[in-house]
Structure 1
Amino acid sequence: MVAYPPLKAVRYFEAAARHLSFSKAAEELSVTHSAISHQIKALESWLGVPLFERGTRQVALTDAGRRFLPPVRSGLLQIAEAARDVSIATRGGPIVVSVLPSVAARWLVPKLHDFRSRHPDIDVRISATGRVETIGDGDIDIAIRFGRGHWSGVTAELLLANDLFPVCSPKLPSEDKPLKEPRDLLQYPLLTDSDWAGANYDFWRDWLTAAGVEDARYRPGLSFNVSNLLMQAAVDGLGIAIGNTMLAGEDLRQGRLIRPFDFTVWPDSGFYVCYAKSALQRPKIKAFRDWLFDQIEVDRQMQQGPNGRGPVTSGILQPATPEKIGA
């Protein structure tokens, strides 16, 4: 078992050695001269060697004191830095949120004013990236990830299931190319997200197959590496995108996009809230996690139609029975 010297005496020694004055050390620590002298004598007794050569008006370090001072300073500095880090982690400092750029732009950032109004004492820093960043051990406190929920070392809670449906500008469908059945979508450029393909997702294939277009041979009209650009291209009438509530919800509510077919497919993927296993013990992380789920509930209520009997959609076909793929 390690024998620790009296820590108060060590702190008093460091101040006196730094100033080479018991009086200045006493002033810095807001104690009396005799308190400094008493604690240093106790430390010297514990060590068994003198640390100071005491003169009439000044003091000087002995050889033992000079050897003792550097590790004492280093140790006290480490303690101070550790205390600061713990304080920042538990009470101060921003909460760092890792999120896909598209989710940040189209869903999270427009809602942050609500979090700020509820928690004005919690600062938020957004790390918008497509990379899977380390959570907990690094700088990231909490993340919104897209996938199937299988990430090692973290808790992953399903925030919103991936509901797939085509979306387009209300100005896109034309009289010479009407959208009467799902196969008619193939008359238009089909917009895709290249990142989905890189992650072994083919959401257009999933939706078309579930909608009965099993032999569809489609060629992407335009491909984007982030879904934010994909949704904007659909708003601008460049083609028809495969979307979901997370990315297209606000554009649907504002009428910038419509659903040409009221038919939804549910793959085995979704948006997850991820955090280190013990992270919810930290109030600011729990507050942000709870707020995310509150916002999803707000969105769900906003999407309900009259009397809460169904989602508000703009469509040409009558509603079809939703199907699940890979569930």
Structure 2
Amino acid sequence: MPRHYDLPSLNALLCFEAAARNLSFKTAATELNVTPAAVSHQIRRLESDLGSEMFRRQHRGVELTEAGAYLFVALQRGFEGIAEAVRDVRAGPDTEDVVVQTTTAVSAFWLTPQLTDFWKARPDIIVSQLVSDAASAPGRADLSIHYGSMAEDDPACLPLFRDDIIAVGTSEFAATRGITSIHDLHGAPLIHVVAEGMEWTGWSEWFAKFGLSPPPGRGIVVNNHMIALQLARDGVGAVLGWTGLIDDLLDSGALVPLVAERMTSPQTFYLQTHTKASRQALVFRDWLAATKG
């Protein structure tokens, strides 16, 4: 009977993947609980089937050939996909309905209040958050919230808000530093948010909008917008804030606008739907679209 997939022996592929990952037939044999001779036999069988050598045999070990490296990368991707599917099946459909990845600031100041309203409307759907200030976080997510350029015609992306960026701090900080204009602010202590893989709009871009040079000195640099806002609340310096995120802090007086200038955000906060999003995740996305529209 002809095989549906044009593949060599799966045992041979498993042996090859383990040997390639460890660059050792002996270690692969220990991992697979077989003899090194059995691993060597399976790899010889694979090389014969493919008509190409997968390894260069050296006196002190083995190393992958170009063909071997190409196959190894493809196998890893395939096995990772299979492993993810197995994890999903083992977990079952009801363990976690929706997983949303977002940053700490967006989680605290925007998403969590939205979830409170959503749970009132749909208490049958569980929404969990994967909170990280890294560009990509480990773990499965159905949806993720980003700040950046969004393709307007991308059906997987839903714009959430695009508000103004203002300079904020405490009223005591403004009084102590004598900040009454943007020129006073230019020379004041500033808090910068610089996170790898994130495109937060910074002070240089904000000041340039109003015809000023980049601020002198490096200031205080953190990689987390939530920490930056807390430092500002502690009176350490001024920070840039998005009005869609910090309305509650402004309403409570914890932070105040330091100058009148405000810049329309050049980027958008948007929700991205991942290809493996659950049915419940689409319900949550559609709810957000309706309530934000």
Contact kept, 8 Å, 1:154 with 1:277, in 2: the verdict is: no
Which structure 2 residues correspond to residues 1-327 of structure 1 after superposition, within 5 A?
85=89, 89=93, 93-133=96-136, 139-149=140-150, 155-161=156-162, 163-174=164-175, 177-195=177-195, 199=198, 203-213=202-212, 215-276=213-274, 279=277, 283-293=279-289, 296=292
Other-structure match for 1:77: none
- AA in 2 matched with 1:189: P
Measure how far apart 1:162 and its partner are.
5.2
SS at the partner of 1:271? strand
> What RMSD, in angstroms, separates the aligned Cα atoms of the two structures?
3.5
TM-score between the two structures when normalised by the length of structure 1: 0.54
CA shift in 2, pair 1:216/1:98, >3 Å: closer
1:292 CA drift (Å):
3.3
Shift of 1:193: 0.4
Q: CA deviation at 1:107?
A: 2.2
Between the two proteins, the alignment pairs up a number of residues equal to 209
CA distance in 2, matches of 1:289, 1:103: 16
CA gap of 1:275–1:232, structure 2 versus 1, over 3 A, is: same
The Cα shift of 1:199 comes to 4.5
* Distance change (3 Å), C-alpha of 1:130 and 1:216: closer
One-letter amino acid matched to 2:182: P
Residue-by-residue CA offset, 1:288-314 (whole Å, 9 max, x unaligned): 2234346657xxxxxxxxxxxxxxxxx
The one-letter code sitting in structure 2 at the alignment partner of 1:179 is I
In the superposition, the TM-score normalised over structure 2's length comes to: 0.60
**Counterparts of 2:137 and 2:237 in 1: how far apart (Å)?**
36
Q: Distance in 2 between matches of 1:87 and 1:250?
A: 38
State whether residues 166 and 259 of structure 1, in contact with CA within 8 Å, keep that contact through their aligned partners in structure 2.
yes
* Letter in structure 1 aligned against 2:209: A
Tell me how far apart the structure 2 counterparts of residues 166 and 127 of structure 1 sit (CA, whole Å).
29
**Residue number in structure 2 paired with 1:41:** none
Q: What's the CA shift for 1:180? A: 2.6
Write the letter of the residue equivalent to 2:101.
S
Does the 8 Å contact 1:231/1:248 carry over to 2?
no
Task: State the AA in 2 paired with 1:104.
Answer: S
Displacement, 1:154? Answer: 7.5
1:286 maps to amino acid: L
Q: Secondary structure at the match of 2:259?
A: coil
Structure 2: give runs of 5+ residues left out of the alignment: 3-84
Q: Is the 8 A contact 1:168 1:241 kept in 2?
A: yes
Are the structure 2 counterparts of residues 144 and 202 from structure 1 closer, same or farther at C-alpha, using a change threshold of 3 Å? closer
Once the two structures are superposed, residues 146-167 of structure 1 have per-residue CA deviations (whole angstroms, 9 ceiling, x without a partner) of 211269x981222112531101
> What amino acid does structure 1 have at the position aligned with 2:206?
W
Quick one: distance in 2 between partners of 1:211 and 1:268?
14
Give the CA deviation at 1:268.
Answer: 2.9
Q: Percent same amino acid among aligned pairs?
A: 24
SS at match of 1:146: strand
The one-letter code matched in structure 1 to 2:255 is L
Which letter does structure 1 place at the counterpart of 2:148? G
**What is the alpha-carbon distance in structure 2 between the residues aligned to residue 105 and residue 217 of structure 1?**
29
The 3 A distance-change label for structure 1 pair 276 and 189 is same
Task: Tell whether the 8 Å contact from 2:192 to 2:228 is kept in structure 1 after alignment.
Answer: yes
Shift of 1:117: 1.6
Q: 1:43: which partner in 2?
A: none
Which structure has the larger Rg over C-alpha atoms? Answer: 1
Deviations 1:253-279 (A, max 9, x none): 221111122322124312110003685
> SS of 2:258's equivalent?
coil
Q: Is the 8 A contact 1:103 1:247 kept in 2?
A: yes
Partner amino acid for 1:292? L
- Deviation string for 1:108-143 (max 9, x for gaps)? 2244322222111111111112344489xx721111
* 1:35 matched residue in structure 2: none
